[in-house]
């Protein structure tokens, strides 16, 4: 196999691997939620928004905005990523990509492929 063909093959495998892992990461991420203006208003009115601990050093004056005084992100819910499920699902994809890379680089060189397979079997 020519060097340019190998290079192209490796790049394609890397691109496909990246796309699949990104899709998998998205699948195992539960999207968070930002508080709506109405929710912020109700929390402010009810006194449930916490004050920011880093209020501007010059103090509060008539030009100080709400975002400088209150923690407006206190009601937001962050994204949650299930890393254990991601790792479990990613393992066979990465293994398949590595096999494809081995074949691209080694072709039908059986001794080299056998050595890699043996090493993989010992470390699983």
At 62, list the tokens. 């008539």
**Cα dihedral sign, 106-112-118-122:** negative
pLDDT in tens, 75-113: 888 899 999 999 999 999 999 999 888 888 888 777 777
By CB atoms closer than 10 A (0-12, 13-18, 19+), residue 40 is buried
Residue 124: its pLDDT value, please? 63
Q: Taking residues 51-74, report their average pLDDT.
A: 73
Mean pLDDT is lowest, of 8-12, 31-35, 109-113, 120-124, for 120-124
- Which H or E run includes 40? helix 37-45
By CB atoms closer than 10 A (0-12, 13-18, 19+), residue 101 is middle
pLDDT in tens, 29-55: 999 998 888 988 898 888 888 877 776
What's the whole-model pTM score? 0.66
Count of residues in the chain = 124
Q: How far is it, in rounded angstroms, from Cα 88 to Cα 85?
A: 5
């Amino acid at each position: 196999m020519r060097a340019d063909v190998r290079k192209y093959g490796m790049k394609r495998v890397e691109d496909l691997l990246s796309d699949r892992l990104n899709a998998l990461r998205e699948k195992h991420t539960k999207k968070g939620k930002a508080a709506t203006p109405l929710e912020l208003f109700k929390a402010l009115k009810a006194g449930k928004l916490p004050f920011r601990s880093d209020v501007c050093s010059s103090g509060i004056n008539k030009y100080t905005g709400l975002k400088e005084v209150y923690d407006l992100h206190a009601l937001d819910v962050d994204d949650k990523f299930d890393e254990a499920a991601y790792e479990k699902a990613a393992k066979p994809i990465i293994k398949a990509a590595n096999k494809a890379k081995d074949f691209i680089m080694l072709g039908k060189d059986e001794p080299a492929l056998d050595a890699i397979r043996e090493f993989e079997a010992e470390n699983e």
